[in-house]
Amino acid sequence: MSRLSQIAVRIELPVRHGGLGGGVAAVLSEVAGMLDSVVRGGETATIDVRSLPMSPEDRIALHAALGNGEVQVTLNAEGVSSLQETGVSGVWWVEHRDRQGEVVAELIEVAPFPAILGASIEDMAAGAAELRTRLSMDHTAPAGP
């Protein structure tokens, strides 16, 4: 065969069971296990969606299978982050973008709330110190008329 047009090509589509690609069903099964673990007192968990070997269609199917919940949060810090509660309580679809608007992370977080919303112990300690400083400054100021 000397010509490209003479090469036989056969296109095989992925086998789908129950309307979900095998990868989608596997991720949903993993999420269910993560939820069980968190409910039993285990650690919260995260899946890096962009690292999954899934087609764009399967990612859309995964998002649709999880659905949308009632809570959506948008953060503006070093770029825009979108946090969407899915239709499954405790499962969040989180997308982080850089300042140019490019997606830098797309995650499924299994937790009561996305990690980025939680304050660190160090930040909380600094907040307490700041409040004490403000209180001490208020006590030294002269009383009003």
| pLDDT given for residue 79 in this prediction | 92
Q: What is the pLDDT of residue 103?
A: 93
CATH code, 30:
3.30.1370.140
DSSP label at 96?
E
The answer to whether position 127 is within a domain reads: no
| Residue 10 confidence (pLDDT) | 41
Is position 66 within any domain? yes
What letter would DSSP give residue 27? Answer: H
Residue 98 lies in a domain: yes
Contacts of residues 72-78 at CB distance under 8 Å and 24 or more positions apart, as own/partner, are 73/114, 73/117, 75/116
Q: What is the number of domains present in the chain? A: 1
Longest distance between any two alpha carbons in the chain, whole Å: 100
Per-residue pLDDT, 3: 53
pLDDT at residue number 7: 52
Residue 96 within any structural domain of the chain: yes
Query: Minimal CA–CA distance to 65: which of 29, 112, 34, 35?
Result: 29
Q: Where are the alpha helices (DSSP H) in the chain?
A: 22-39, 56-66, 121-140
Tens-binned pLDDT, residue by residue, of the chain (145 aa):
445 455 554 443 344 434 455 789 999 999 999 999 999 999 999 999 999 988 889 999 999 999 999 999 999 988 999 999 999 999 999 999 999 999 999 999 999 999 888 888 999 999 999 999 999 987 655 555 5
Look up the domain containing 112 and give its range: 14-118
Q: Is residue 6 part of a domain?
A: no
Q: How many residues does the chain have?
A: 145
pLDDT of residue 1: 43
Q: Which residue, 105, 104, 87, is CA-closest to 35?
A: 87
Q: Does residue 47 belong to any structural domain of this protein?
A: yes
Q: Is residue 74 part of a domain?
A: yes
Do 103 and 116 form a contact (C-beta atoms < 8 A)? no
